[in-house]
A and B are shown apart, each in its own frame.
Chain A
């Protein structure tokens, strides 16, 4: 790795102030993404500020209203093992347990998980040189290269990569809120607004700026939370990023869907909410497979597959259907 200096933060205000004025400073928590990026020279911070000592930021709180507040420094494994998370939001526990490995889940923080950068091989590999995320203006090698793992929605000529976080897909479905502290105080960012589409500035994955620190993620209570499920399809059975995944939560009334929440991973630069499918699913019987399929299909009319990933359009709809039926069995 390149040389850098290292210090530890004792309080959030000082950490935020240091980050705000120094474009070459990066926060480090679990380090499982940042250290890999530094080894691959996709991140070259001159100063690292270790935020693991910030007080009170690793707490997992389950208030009586049925929601959750997860501190940004809570580790993936601790959140997945938490019985309130498992009972209230199975989709969140599953998204965590189906991600990475036991060792990485013990290290990786929740804040870092939703900040993790794409696994696009052209972004991670410094030898190609054409990646707008790595070097703005250098082009996108994946657009006409090997793009089996890339986006089918929302991509631009600048970038066709996907967001690799499983947790972010579950949090998108549950309308979670990212609590960010900055120099002007605290603000609440709806999860669907947290990550960005690439447009002409794919180097920016999310809406955070200098001096912004994620302090927690809040998940509101909802009627759909308990009947929720995360279904992940990947090239090997474990310890692999998603090819396609779905987070689903539903509420049922007399065997018919009262409301449904659907988000997908592995299909876009951000977790992809299936809003058209959600409205079409209302009132449909869980036993009516054809009606479920056509409601889901409504969200795929604007899919734009690349040369090597047309299979994802069909696969994603099947994954969404499977996730819906599994969640339905939990009602």
Chain B
């Protein structure tokens, strides 16, 4: 089957039961995407499909024919980190680092969701349009709740996301 991964056209041969996560790690050697719970409960395997954040453990690669996949390896451009990657380093947004690629992939797409005006469970007025200016710490925590961090670096992760938004 054919898909585009981090801007490159790739052709792989897989069994139908292969998840997108296993295809990325085992067939394409992209081990930046982490396999933790493998049940859609932790967010460590978060990647983008056509720009949207998804859990790569809960979808089959066979369902992604022709799709554009972005992983943590594809986030930097010409050797320059994405602003959220830099912010994670500056704000010490990790300890062991196992959840980090998922956190960053989730955060990058989450900021785009906010730009598109999407509300969250922390949004008080659903009938009003939402923008980056409304992205409080509480909003960031709610919108990032699909990414667990066993080292509990949450305050620093929120700082990193808030800083990346402020600088964007």
Which B residues form the contact surface with A (CB < 8 A)?
15-17, 19, 38-40, 43, 46, 52-55, 57-60, 62-63, 65, 106, 109-110, 113, 116-121, 123, 126-127, 129, 141-147
Closest chain B CB from A202 CB (angstroms): 23
Task: Choose among A3, A8, A237 the residue that contacts B15 (Cβ–Cβ < 8 A).
Answer: A3
Q: Tell me whether B119 and A97 are in contact (CB under 8 A).
A: yes
Question: Which B residues are CB-close (under 8 A) to A58?
Answer: none
A6 CB contacts on chain B under 8 angstroms: 16, 60, 62
In whole angstroms, what is the CA distance A168 to B127 when docked? 22
Q: Which residues of B contact A102 (CB under 8 A)?
A: 53, 106, 109-110, 113, 120, 143-146
A-side contacts of B145, CB under 8 Å: 101-102, 237-239
B17 x A93 contact (CB < 8 A):
no
Q: A101-B145, A106-B52, A107-B59 known; A1 and B40 CB under 8 Å? A: no
Given the complex, which residues of A lie within 8 Å of B118, measured CB to CB?
77, 80-81
**Which residue in A36, A77, A86 is a CB contact (below 8 Å) of B58?**
A36
Q: Given B39, B119, B146, B147, which contacts A80 in the complex, CB threshold below 8 Å?
A: B119
Contact A90 B55 (CB under 8 A): no
Q: How far is the CA of A246 from the CA of B19 in the complex (A)?
A: 35
Contact A86 B126 (CB under 8 A): yes
9 A-B pairs whose Cβ atoms sit less than 8 Å apart in the complex: A3-B16, A36-B39, A36-B58, A50-B63, A93-B126, A101-B147, A102-B109, A107-B59, A239-B145
Contact of A239 among B17, B113, B146 (CB under 8 A): B146
Chain B, Cβ-Cβ closest to A96: B121
Chain A residue contacts of B106, Cβ below 8 A: 102-103
Distance between Cα atoms of A107 and B143 in the complex (Å):
15
CB neighbours of B43 from chain A (8 A): 101, 103
Which secondary structure characterizes the binding site on chain B? loop
Q: Which residues of chain A come closer than 8 Å to B121, judged between CB atoms?
A: 94, 97-98, 238
Q: A50, B40: Cβ atoms under 8 Å?
A: no
A100 CA to B142 CA, complexed, in Å:
11
The reply to whether A35 and B60 form a contact with Cβ atoms under 8 Å apart is: yes
Contact of B16 among A48, A87, A90, A101 (CB under 8 A): A48
- A28 engages B63 (CB within 8 Å): yes
Q: How far is the CA of A19 from the CA of B145 in the complex (A)?
A: 37
Given A103-B146, A239-B145, does the pair A35, B53 have CB atoms closer than 8 Å? no
Which 7 pairs, one residue from A and one from B, show the smallest C-beta to C-beta distance?
A: A101-B146, A6-B16, A238-B145, A239-B145, A81-B118, A86-B126, A1-B17
Is A36 within 8 A of B40, CB to CB? yes
Q: Which residues on B sit within 8 Å (CB–CB) of A35?
A: 19, 40, 57-60
Give the residue name and chain of the A residue nearest to B113 (CB): A102
Query: CA of A48 to CA of B63 in the docked complex: distance in angstroms?
Result: 11
A36 to B58, CA, bound (A): 7
Q: Which of A2-41 contact B (CB under 8 A)?
A: 2-6, 8, 28, 30-32, 35-36, 39
Which residue of the partner chain B has the closest CB to A8? B65
User: Which A residues lie within 8 Å of B58 (CB)?
Assistant: 31-32, 35-36, 104, 107
Given contacts A36-B39, A81-B117, A87-B126, 17 further A-B contacts (CB under 8 A): A3-B17, A4-B16, A8-B65, A32-B40, A80-B118, A81-B118, A83-B129, A101-B145, A101-B147, A102-B53, A102-B106, A102-B109, A102-B113, A104-B146, A106-B54, A107-B54, A238-B145
